[in-house]
Amino acid sequence: MNNKFIEVQHAEMVFETRKGRFHALGKVNLTVAQGEFVTLIGHSGCGKSTLLNLLAGLTRATDGALICAGREIAGPSPERGVVFQNHSLLPWLSCFENVYLAVERVFASKESGSQMRERTTAALALVGLSAAARKRPNEISGGMKQRVGIARALSMEPKVLLMDEPFGALDALTRAHLQDELLRIVAQTGSTVVMVTHDVDEAVLLSDRIVMMTNGPAATIGDIVRVQLARPRERVALAHDRLYMEYRTRVLEFLYHRQARPQAA
């Protein structure tokens, strides 16, 4: 296993705005091991999405370096699959076609149409959506759309899955269901995941490490909690687990005591 699969070295982000320069991220240093599940948590506006966008290659850091699998991140790449809160599916295409489009982008030069259709079918099966393959996005629920987004990202066999509050817009039960699905999928694929969340329970349930960010401007990593709960994890059993409570309390203390905000986040 590569312990430095992702490396963020002194990354800084300054935005030029109409009101002048805004220093969003201070020096951020982070390494993520291959197969690790890392969540980024912090108050609203602290810079979680800014950091994830740097990892996705959607924006470039104003200073420092970001490296994935030994190469500097210079732009978006199918090796880093991205899932956003807003699933951004093409409404005129079926679920199958939405995923197929991504598969084609990566594999068209080396695989036949039938191999790519097989990949698409497998990705939809992985997220439990085989029966909805022919449906269009407006014919399925929000949770199902998000699962198509995950299937689309995974279908490209990314080295890393980057998720920006993927379940943020879902109701609590659907959210819990998708968290369980994600745990199952990641156990099956061994994916390396970096995920932004606001939800402390979600962070503890899913993560190997919880990266807690300080409030901006010039936000940086304030502390990291290593979650040493055995896998597979089961949410009902964990609800009474002493260690689970301890991790949860440590994150809450960071957010509401050490990084307390004058107004609710």
Ligand X SMILES: Nc1ncnc2c1ncn2[C@@H]1O[C@H](COP(=O)(O)OP(=O)(O)OP(=O)(O)O)[C@@H](O)[C@H]1O
Binding footprint of ligand X on the chain (CB under 6 A):
15, 17, 22, 24, 42, 44-50, 216
Which CB sits closer to ligand X, 48 or 152? 48
Q: Cα–Cα distance between 160 and 96 in angstroms, integer?
A: 22
Least distance in Å: CB of 152 to ligand X?
A: 22
Shortest distance (Å) from residue 50 CB to ligand X:
3
Note if the bond before 158 is cis, omega within 30 degrees.
no
Instruction: In whole angstroms, give the CA distance from residue 214 to residue 257.
Output: 12
How many Å is the maximal CA-CA distance in the chain?
58
CA atoms within 13 A on the CB side of 191: 30
CB of 17 to ligand X, least distance (A): 5
CB of 62 to ligand X, least distance (A): 12
The answer to whether the beta carbons of residues 95 and 55 sit under 8 Å apart is no
Tell me the three state secondary structure of residue 265.
coil
What minimum distance in Å lies between the beta carbon of 164 and ligand X? Answer: 8
Three-state secondary-structure class, residue 236: helix
Nearer to ligand X, 126 or 200 (CB): 200
* CA–CA gap between residue 63 and residue 122 (Å, rounded): 40
Residue 44 CB, shortest distance to ligand X, in Å, is 3
Q: Are 30 and 24 in contact (CB under 8 A)?
A: no
Q: How far is the CB of 11 from ligand X (least distance, A)?
A: 12
Contact assessment for residue 23 and residue 14, using Cβ atoms and an 8 Å cutoff: yes
Radius of gyration in angstroms for the set of CA atoms belonging to the chain, rounded to a whole number: 19
Q: Which of 150, 157, 152 shows the shortest CA–CA distance to 190? A: 157
Q: Cβ-count burial of 176 within 10 angstroms (0-12 exposed, 13-18 middle, 19+ buried)?
A: middle
Pairing of strands 160-164, 192-196: parallel
Of residues 156 and 213, the one with the C-beta less far from ligand X: 213
- CB of 14 or CB of 238, closer to ligand X: 14
Nearer to ligand X, 7 or 164 (CB): 164
Nearer to ligand X, 41 or 124 (CB): 41
Taking the least distance from each CB to ligand X, the nearer of 95 and 251 is: 251
